């Protein structure tokens, strides 16, 4: 009974963290989708900053600014995914006889599986939405390059082609490969915890 008194708040806390991360991810997905569907007119001071960085005329910078914003915002949201897995790892560590020796009901494994499923869905949704925005920005830049080429403005064509290449190579935040996404590192936490607790149990049996 005492263990249940402790376990129930712990499980509820994990669920709160999971849905907190899911909510933050969903809001980011909707916001990123809004950036793609409704052209954003960034303020002149922002455009001026990126003009000094790239030298590209300001009227062609909105899509590049969108991608930079998405990368930085999704990087912040992605870090939240660690918190539910840290809490889950602590619960798994508590099952070891080296610590509190909690028994592990099947429901805990179900919760762990559902948690992973929800977090995986969040990561995939964020990545797919970000990639859709990248594709839209690259296509817009390609059309602008074609128009500039038709006008014989080779200097602008070169600038736009370079900027399009930077869009395609952007690998920060949600644009990073799945091997560098926070989800993969977060999943390793409970796996390492299970392995470590099993090692402690084995050492305890050997009276080490």
Model pLDDT, residue 200:
45
Contacts of 60 (CB under 8 A, 6+ apart): 141, 144, 160, 163
List the end-to-end C-alpha distance of the chain, in Å, as a whole number.
Answer: 31
* Phi (first) and psi of residue 153, to 5 degrees: -90, 80
Segment 68-75 mean pLDDT: 91
Query: pTM of whole model > 0.85?
Result: no
H helices present in the chain, as ranges? 2-37, 44-54, 62-79, 82-94, 106-150, 154-169, 182-205
Give tens-digit pLDDT for 77-91.
888 877 777 777 777
Count of beta carbons in the 10 Å neighbourhood of residue 18: 23
């Amino acid at each position: 009974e005492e263990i249940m008194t402790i376990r129930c708040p712990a499980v509820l806390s994990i669920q709160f963290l999971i849905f907190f991360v899911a909510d933050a991810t969903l809001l980011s997905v909707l916001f990123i989708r809004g950036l793609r569907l409704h052209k954003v007119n960034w303020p002149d001071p922002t455009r001026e900053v990126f003009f000094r960085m790239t030298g590209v005329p300001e009227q062609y910078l909105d899509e590049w600014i969108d991608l930079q914003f998405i990368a930085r915002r999704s990087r912040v949201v992605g870090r939240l995914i660690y918190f539910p897995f840290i809490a889950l790892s602590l619960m798994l560590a508590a099952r070891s006889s080296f610590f509190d020796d909690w028994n592990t009901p099947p429901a805990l494994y179900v919760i762990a599986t559902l948690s992973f499923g929800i977090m995986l869905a969040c990561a995939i949704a964020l990545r797919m939405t970000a990639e859709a925005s990248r594709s839209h920005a690259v296509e817009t830049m390609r059309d602008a390059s074609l128009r500039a080429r038709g006008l014989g403005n080779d200097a602008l064509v070169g600038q736009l082609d370079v900027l399009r290449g930077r869009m395609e190579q952007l690998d920060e935040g949600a644009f990073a490969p799945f091997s560098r996404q926070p989800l993969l590192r977060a999943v390793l936490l409970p796996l390492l915890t299970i392995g470590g607790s099993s090692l402690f149990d084995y050492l305890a049996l050997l009276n080490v």
